[in-house]
Amino acid sequence: MENTDLERPIFRFKMPVVGTMRLGQWGEKFSTQLYLDFIKACLDLGITDFDHADIYGHYTTESEFGSALKLVPSLRTKMRLITKCGIKMVSPNRPDHRIKSYDSSAEHIKMSVDNSLKNLNTDYIDLLLIHRPDLLMDAQEIADCFSALKLSGKVRYFGVSNFTPSQFELLDSLFPMVTNQVEASPLHLNPFHDGCFDQCQMLGIQAMIWSPFAGRELFQESSNENVVRIKTTAEGLCTKYDCSLDQLVLAWLSQHPSRPVPVLGTSKIERIEKAIKAQSILLTREDWYILYTAATGIELA
């Protein structure tokens, strides 16, 4: 049954989001002090949103980040913590997981939230996302679970990640979602065509974009003709707008009227500074379509 009693809360992104996946064991292997220095540098730049998932670093990155917050607890009030749950990954830290699977049961969500609260050294999560659409997802069960978590004060806002528009609509009909975190880049155009960005614009919400640079494939030497075509086309646009390729891509993505926000997977503060500056780049409509045409390799009908 559709829940018409709950109004959609307002949750807006004004700056790029910093992804934490590569800060710990899956990447830079930051020490506690390096985490703290990185967090402070981001906050000094006006970046306040940090994107986590329980599985990152084989279930260790949240606690590493939380250890840094424990050193300076006042930093918690200056940020919004986002985390995801629902993937059960085979890991030495989860020896009872026999196979990678998805679990969106209320029991698993509540357990994951309690673990994240403890690991992040906080008493509330700003935004909780279901990480992947569970084929056994019971939308009413999730909605009831979200209602209980909100009432308890453990989670303030809710969303999903990698959901199709119909999957999003199903859950959103029972409990209001504030975002859908999806993959988008010049090499992955699905959200432009599958209704995701249209849905966001219709509902007045912003999508979060993971892998905006296609896993850095756009910056590597490649024989992929799509990559070559995009980079060749981008050269002239970068010259025109006096920007780098990464800034051009971010400006191009964020120019969609739904105003999607990128999740930056970098640990380099200088790259985050460049991403912030990219917000001021406004492409002409024709230039936007020049890059889009390079991305598709097909002239518009």
Phi, psi of 168 (to 5 degrees): -60, -45
pTM above 0.85, yes or no: yes
pLDDT value at residue 216: 85
131: left (phi over 0), alpha (psi -120 to 50) or beta: alpha
35: left (phi over 0), alpha (psi -120 to 50) or beta: alpha
pLDDT value at residue 260: 98
pLDDT value at residue 1: 38
Q: Side chain identity at 197, as an amino acid letter?
A: F
HSE of 300 in the Cβ direction (CA atoms, 13 Å)?
Answer: 7
- Please report, in tens digits, the pLDDT of each residue of the chain (301 residues total): 344 456 899 999 999 999 999 999 999 999 999 999 999 999 999 999 999 999 999 999 999 999 999 999 999 999 999 999 999 999 999 999 999 999 999 999 999 999 999 999 999 999 999 999 999 999 999 999 999 999 999 999 999 999 999 999 999 999 999 999 999 999 999 999 999 999 999 999 999 999 999 988 899 888 899 999 999 999 999 999 999 999 999 999 999 999 999 999 999 999 999 999 999 999 999 999 999 999 999 999 9
C-alpha 173/C-alpha 206 separation (Å) is 17
Instruction: For the chain, give the number of residues.
Output: 301
pLDDT value at residue 4: 42
121: left (phi over 0), alpha (psi -120 to 50) or beta: left
In contact, 173 and 142? CB cutoff 8 Å: no
Determine which one of 35, 56, 59, 157 is catalytic. 56
The answer to whether 56 is a known catalytic residue is: yes
What is the domain class of 17-178 according to CATH?
Answer: alpha beta
Indicate the domain borders of the chain.
17-178
pLDDT value at residue 221: 87
